[in-house]
Structure 1
């Protein structure tokens, strides 16, 4: 066994190296996501700093890295478009308070209860919106008013880049963007030891060099010399927004999406390493605290982010120290060398996000989902289309609605067949599927067609489950049928076995009238249900 001091020193050195790698990955993404959200780059940098220095210390997922997320870009952009940049802080503050409150009532696990088809559809929809919106920014143009317009006007952006009429800066910006993406793709082919330097950073550096060497007159990142000057505390005007129901709805949507993305990311990070597992409620509380601080200073909202987290694990991080240090490196660079960041062209950052959006649309996922049925692929596809055609929240709601509808359909799927044999004075009822209160009316209408005096045989070999309402109805119907001179032949004990939850919760079955095929008193089967 290694001496403890040696193990600790090796852990610290690994965390130190990993923190530098994560810092290099996070730096361009913090600024790029801010620009894509319609906010100043400083807002994204402050979120990255808080995600490291604060959340990195108290988080429940030790190797997860928090910061501004591409998944929230669409919500934040719409928020700023409808309510203004001044409203961002109060909404993020409110969303963080919702997250912290949910964690205190042990709600972390509920945010994970979202069907994979909806989650992957949400990510793909976000990817399409990011790709379409940032494509215009990559040619130094403004995004359109909606995701659908951004998507259908991509050919126009390409035309501006290839055949600029008056503003040649569109062509220059497009060249910088193409160079950045090409560099990013080529970097995946270099030897593994060189890939320790993140591809997005290399793409931004190369794009920055091209833009500055050739003196292109394109937009560059605007970072203040003093980061504290970008802090925007809540004002009395912004506090008045709390009386607006729409603000609360946006904050709830922001909290739900951020929490779902964070906790899904935490689960994915857990599968990447063999260290301590995630405490989901603690992680949710840490995210709530982080977002409340982001809201106080007017920064972007944060989540746990998979790109930076996977880079952290792959770089050999061993503890939460790595996430903490990455926030410290961002703070040092922004405070000491803001002029370096001002050399970065916006088109280069947009190009990185165009590539990120493309990667979020994981076509292979449709093949994986198809293993669980065509309905899962349909939910995925409809979620993507709804997000692109409307907005993120409505699209996710449509996806969840379809998932719930599928569940209700499966719960109500049942075949009922009644065969009457008058010459034998008997009837046969066959039940197949799931017998729940959803189909109780159909069952009732069917058995009511059984003539009085008939001997009804109930066959349920292909019945998956029967609920309390259906079982109670059949026992009561048997009583009524006996008063009319009829009888019911059914293995009540076996039928009750379909009602697993009742046996588990109560230990006995509903009261029913005795019949010839019921277990008699003293029978070893009596009371077994």
Structure 2
């Protein structure tokens, strides 16, 4: 038996690069998985379970080569609302249903249609989630209980500030959380130490060490153990969600999990694909992989998953070459949960809240908003309106508002009507040619232009230049022709 002398030197750098990248992604994912779980109102271990499934299930399936899946800050607000509305035991049923819906969408090759969704709506949705996340996690930074929804959290901020001013423990917790955010912002990216220790891990680790060393009176994560946290859903949970009073709300939650998670995944793919030369993501296959992962998460009663830009970009930047890196990151999370679960009990809740505040801020596309406002002001309005609607109402109404506004904007921009008048001379009818697309959105302007024509001249109307005429405009033009001038 002979071995090629070049096989091992070629393969080893690839494997070693994937191992190194997997460790970097693991260190980035660890505090985020725990933080998203705590912010979602579920045991911290469930966030790690979702990260493990994202690596070992979604990571093995075809789709993207470098995208890393796990619990995401973009779904935190949805999960928190679902847990408060339906209970923790029902979460598995909702996530399982979302996973099955994603599998169906992938099988029907609907993944590509997410490209048709306005980017402004997607960015506005993420911005709205980020604002709601910040407003809620500010309370966590002070070891206080949030109100649960965007308007309530915003309205309660003055009361929170007054509480912090008179409570020493709340002030201490806020200092821990604020310091965590400061470390995340100032952590030197180009420093050799920063390359080895990602900012989220460094911030949480330093906060935990400081709290332990100084004996600060701040809340820490409650640890139940993996077996105690995992609660697979049963038939009773399914029956509770399909009741007359809860079915519509449960269906809305499933749809929100599916659409927001899928949109965030494919939006992540669009951002990560230019960073590598492995080819573009196959959207339908990636949707199938996400569906399979969410189905498994649902069976385990864990959080929903989506591909995450921060972890995915860290994977590429750390030198990943194959899918091995994202699979191994799930292995490292599993090893951590199995061997070192007690470490979670050392982490201050305020530090994790600080990580989520920073993550929420990163969801707000300030640079893109400035560019849109300069070059595509209508898209900027759609983005801002979507975000404000999510903060002021809820996720479902906010997204629907954004989609409706985007459709109206597109219809307005695509409908353009122009009148071309030609005067052949005295005694002959004035020739008026209408060009473009005549829709009800342009009807007031069209009628104003027709009424502005000379009333003492006969008019010969030519509509051959119209590409499209809707019923409202056709009726108005026929009425004008028969003497409605």
Per the TM alignment, residue 119 of structure 1 is displaced from its structure 2 partner at its CA by 1.2
What is the alpha-carbon distance in structure 2 between the residues aligned to residue 170 and residue 64 of structure 1? 38
Superposed, 1:37-56 pairs within 5 Å as 37-56=40-59
Q: Does 1:105 align with 2:117?
A: no
Q: Does 1:331 align with 2:334?
A: yes
Per the TM alignment, residue 416 of structure 1 is displaced from its structure 2 partner at its CA by 4.0
Tell me, what secondary structure is at the counterpart of 1:342?
helix
Give the aligned partner of residue 272 of structure 2.
Answer: 269
Per the TM alignment, residue 415 of structure 1 is displaced from its structure 2 partner at its CA by 3.8
What is the alpha-carbon distance in structure 2 between the residues aligned to residue 442 and residue 425 of structure 1? 26
Give the aligned partner of residue 214 of structure 1.
Answer: 214
Contact 2:188 2:194 in 1 (8 A): no
Alignment RMSD (CA, Å): 3.0
What is the alpha-carbon distance in structure 2 between the residues aligned to residue 395 and residue 59 of structure 1? 33
Give the aligned partner of residue 468 of structure 2.
Answer: 467
Give the aligned partner of residue 139 of structure 1.
Answer: 142
Tell me, what secondary structure is at the counterpart of 2:358?
helix
What is the alpha-carbon distance in structure 2 between the residues aligned to residue 122 and residue 3 of structure 1? 50
Give the aligned partner of residue 456 of structure 1.
Answer: 460
Per the TM alignment, residue 437 of structure 1 is displaced from its structure 2 partner at its CA by 8.3
TM-score where L is the length of structure 1: 0.81
Q: Deviations over 1:403-433 (max 9, x none)?
A: 0111222233324466787833222214354
Tell me, what secondary structure is at the counterpart of 1:223?
coil
Per the TM alignment, residue 454 of structure 1 is displaced from its structure 2 partner at its CA by 6.7
Superposed, 1:174-185 pairs within 5 Å as 174-185=174-185
Give the aligned partner of residue 286 of structure 2.
Answer: 283
Give the aligned partner of residue 170 of structure 2.
Answer: 170
Contact 2:421 2:430 in 1 (8 A): yes
Q: Does 1:82 align with 2:48?
A: no
Give the aligned partner of residue 309 of structure 1.
Answer: 312
What is the alpha-carbon distance in structure 1 between the residues aligned to residue 442 and residue 162 of structure 2? 58
- Closer, same or farther in 2 for the Cα pair 1:180/1:394, shift >3 Å? same
Q: Deviations over 1:443-484 (max 9, x none)?
A: 89969x999x97837498xx7x613879xx8xxx9xx99xxx
Tell me, what secondary structure is at the counterpart of 2:60?
helix
Give the aligned partner of residue 186 of structure 1.
Answer: 186
Give the aligned partner of residue 24 of structure 1.
Answer: 27
1:254 to 249, 257, 261: 257
Per the TM alignment, residue 180 of structure 1 is displaced from its structure 2 partner at its CA by 1.5
1:128 to 126, 131, 140: 131
Per the TM alignment, residue 177 of structure 1 is displaced from its structure 2 partner at its CA by 1.0
Q: Does 1:239 align with 2:238?
A: yes
Q: Deviations over 1:116-173 (max 9, x none)?
A: 1111111111111111100100110011132122123334333433431xxx321221
Unaligned runs of 5+ in 2: none
- Closer, same or farther in 2 for the Cα pair 1:438/1:366, shift >3 Å? closer
- Closer, same or farther in 2 for the Cα pair 1:419/1:51, shift >3 Å? same
Tell me, what secondary structure is at the counterpart of 2:275?
coil
Give the aligned partner of residue 229 of structure 1.
Answer: 228
Q: Does 1:72 align with 2:75?
A: yes
TM-score where L is the length of structure 2: 0.88
Q: Does 1:152 align with 2:155?
A: yes
What is the alpha-carbon distance in structure 1 between the residues aligned to residue 461 and residue 184 of structure 2? 70
Tell me, what secondary structure is at the counterpart of 2:215?
coil
What is the alpha-carbon distance in structure 2 between the residues aligned to residue 67 and residue 413 of structure 1? 45
What is the alpha-carbon distance in structure 2 between the residues aligned to residue 253 and residue 362 of structure 1? 21
What is the alpha-carbon distance in structure 2 between the residues aligned to residue 358 and residue 441 of structure 1? 42
Larger RCO, structure (CA 8 Å, separation 6 or more): 2
Give the aligned partner of residue 521 of structure 1.
Answer: none
Give the aligned partner of residue 93 of structure 1.
Answer: 96
What is the alpha-carbon distance in structure 2 between the residues aligned to residue 305 and residue 361 of structure 1? 15
What is the alpha-carbon distance in structure 2 between the residues aligned to residue 376 and residue 191 of structure 1? 38
Equivalent pairs counted in the alignment come to 466
What is the alpha-carbon distance in structure 1 between the residues aligned to residue 398 and residue 192 of structure 2? 39
